[in-house]
Chain A
Amino acid sequence: MTPYGNILFFIIIGFLLLPTILAGLRGKPAKGYNIFISIIVLALIFGNSLTGSISLILFTVFQLFLIIGYQTYRFQKNNSYVFISAVLLSILPLVLVKVLPLLGLHHVFGFLGVSYITFKSVQMIMETRDGLLKEKISLIELAYFLLFFPTVSSGPIDRWRRFRKDLHTVPSSQEYQKLLLSGINYIFVGFLYKFILAYLIYNYAVVFLPDQTYNYLTPFQGQIAYMYAYSFYLFFDFAGYSAFAVGVSRIMGIQTPINFNRPFASRNIKDFWNRWHMSLSFWFRDYVYMRFVLWMTKKKWIQNKYTVSYIGFFLLFFLMGIWHGLEWHFVVYGLYHALLIVSFDKFERWNKKHKLWPKNKWTQAFGVFLTFNAVCFGFYIFSGILF
């Protein structure tokens, strides 16, 4: 069963969450029960495929061992090579899932959510390395975090220290009422976005474009229309899914971070990446770009710090691109965004010196317009229609 894929899924989780809601409204904890229903929902999601289920279990046990093992090691020692090996081991299954199909091995290994569990696991290894996870981690809580069913298939990617705090906080009856209401609100936003807007845009525009326009549009106009329609479809579909995930998490007392914050109103491309698929872009920012730049700055291999930053951007967006799939359009999509960010950064620094581009509502409106179109062109590449 695909999470949030049909109305039956919502009826089942609505039913399963009733005791959670009743406990919450009385200010009582529901942690144990929530862990119990997670197992049921995971069985529903993954149960249809035997290889999928076995892969998921083996993969999770592997990640649990890796995280706990590295943490145990880190209590005593802190060798860089052990750290790097732990990170590489953690991403190895994801790399295999992406590479094996290219070698013709399709159904050997691979299941829904492998990326998102990997992101959480790598994050924990890095935070352990930084000395931020000093307390012993409960195996059950860690498994619950990795496999938290509202977000297991496609995020948003939560952070362990934040998640754990929510897990150990029992909201008062009034606090829970607020959580519940905002959770239900998110779920309805999700219905509007995914099942109405994304559905309509897809079935009445995207499927016909760019070619089947009955001579109503020229081929070029058809391409343009496809670009915008696809961009809005992508947004409403994924923002809708994310709203479901955030909403269900809140009903379970976990304030999963939001993924979208009005991305099409971004003033510039940096602003856009703080508003679009936020938990993913923050993950890449914190665990790829910033670590890379810091490491290069300390090693002093390249003198010019801006060069280091630009290499960092290319690395980030290249990885983000191929993470979507090992196909050319994803690679180009990544490099295109790296180019946009680097160009904007150069412009921003140039303008700091010369102050030729003032900050007022007109320049801001122009910035929003330009960013929107640049971003839509990016999704046009991303859609794979070009190559």
Chain B
Amino acid sequence: MEKQQILDMLVDICEDDIILENPDIDLFEEGLLDSFGTINLLVEIDNRFDISVPITDFDREEWNTPNRIAGKLAERQ
């Protein structure tokens, strides 16, 4: 699992290239991700990397930027 793959996945889900420019952007603050986007993200994480993240484990405070999401996924691999 490359970090680039995670960023590409986020670009697909948020439909915005700003993620590549600023991987520390707060996805929820900026309205790039909401509850619905989160579900798509969890489904895609499962499809692309075979990592299953339960909804209740997805804490918005800890999964709020592309870099943090990449970090969280690296921990779980």
Which residues of A come within 8 Å of B, CB atoms?
Answer: 126-127, 130-132, 270, 285-286, 289-291, 293-294, 297-298, 305, 309, 312, 345, 348, 352
Tell me if A285 and B35 are in contact (CB < 8 A). yes
B residues 5-34 near A (Cβ < 8 Å) are: 15, 31, 34
State whether A132 and B42 are in contact (beta carbons under 8 Å apart), knowing that A270-B34, A285-B35 are contacts in the complex. no
Chain B residue nearest to A309 (CB atoms) is B36
State whether A286 and B56 are in contact (beta carbons under 8 Å apart), knowing that A294-B39, A294-B42 are contacts in the complex. yes
**Could you say which residues of chain A place their CB within 8 Å of the CB of B55?**
130, 286, 290-291, 294
Which residues of B come within 8 Å of A, CB atoms?
Answer: 15, 31, 34-36, 38-40, 42-43, 54-57
Chain B residue nearest to A128 (CB atoms) is B56
Partner of A297, one of B34, B35, B43: B43
**Would you give 7 A-B contacts (Cβ < 8 Å), ordered by A?**
A130-B55, A132-B54, A294-B39, A297-B39, A309-B36, A345-B36, A352-B15
Name the residue among A294, A297, A305 with the largest chain B CB count within 10 angstroms. A294
Tell me if B36 and A130 are in contact (CB < 8 A). no
State whether A290 and B40 are in contact (beta carbons under 8 Å apart), knowing that A130-B54, A130-B57, A132-B57 are contacts in the complex. no
**Could you say which residues of chain B place their CB within 8 Å of the CB of A293?**
35-36, 39
**Distance (Å) between the CB of A128 and the closest chain B CB?**
10
**Distance (Å) between the CB of B42 and the closest chain A CB?**
7
**Distance (Å) between the CB of A125 and the closest chain B CB?**
11
**Could you say which residues of chain B place their CB within 8 Å of the CB of A352?**
15
A285 CA / B15 CA spacing, docked (Å): 23
List 8 tightest A-B contacts by C-beta distance, closest first. Answer: A130-B54, A309-B36, A130-B56, A293-B39, A127-B56, A290-B55, A294-B39, A285-B35
Tell me if B40 and A305 are in contact (CB < 8 A). yes
Name the residue among A132, A286, A291 with the largest chain B CB count within 10 angstroms. A286
**Distance (Å) between the CB of B16 and the closest chain A CB?**
8
Name the residue among B39, B42, B43, B54 with the largest chain A CB count within 10 angstroms. B39
Chain B residue nearest to A268 (CB atoms) is B31
**Could you say which residues of chain A place their CB within 8 Å of the CB of B56?**
126-127, 130, 132, 286
Q: Assuming A291-B55, A309-B36, what are 10 further A-B pairs, CB within 8 angstroms?
A: A127-B56, A130-B57, A131-B54, A132-B54, A289-B35, A290-B38, A290-B55, A305-B40, A312-B36, A345-B36
A298 CA / B54 CA spacing, docked (Å): 13
**Could you say which residues of chain A place their CB within 8 Å of the CB of B40?**
297, 305
**Distance (Å) between the CB of A47 and the closest chain B CB?**
36
A312 CA / B38 CA spacing, docked (Å): 14
**Could you say which residues of chain B place their CB within 8 Å of the CB of A130?**
54-57
Chain B residue nearest to A316 (CB atoms) is B35
**Could you say which residues of chain B place their CB within 8 Å of the CB of A132?**
54, 56-57
**Distance (Å) between the CB of B19 and the closest chain A CB?**
14
A235 CA / B54 CA spacing, docked (Å): 34
**Distance (Å) between the CB of A39 and the closest chain B CB?**
30
A127 CA / B56 CA spacing, docked (Å): 6
Tell me if A298 and B43 are in contact (CB < 8 A). yes
**Could you say which residues of chain B place their CB within 8 Å of the CB of A348?**
31
Tell me if B39 and A290 are in contact (CB < 8 A). yes
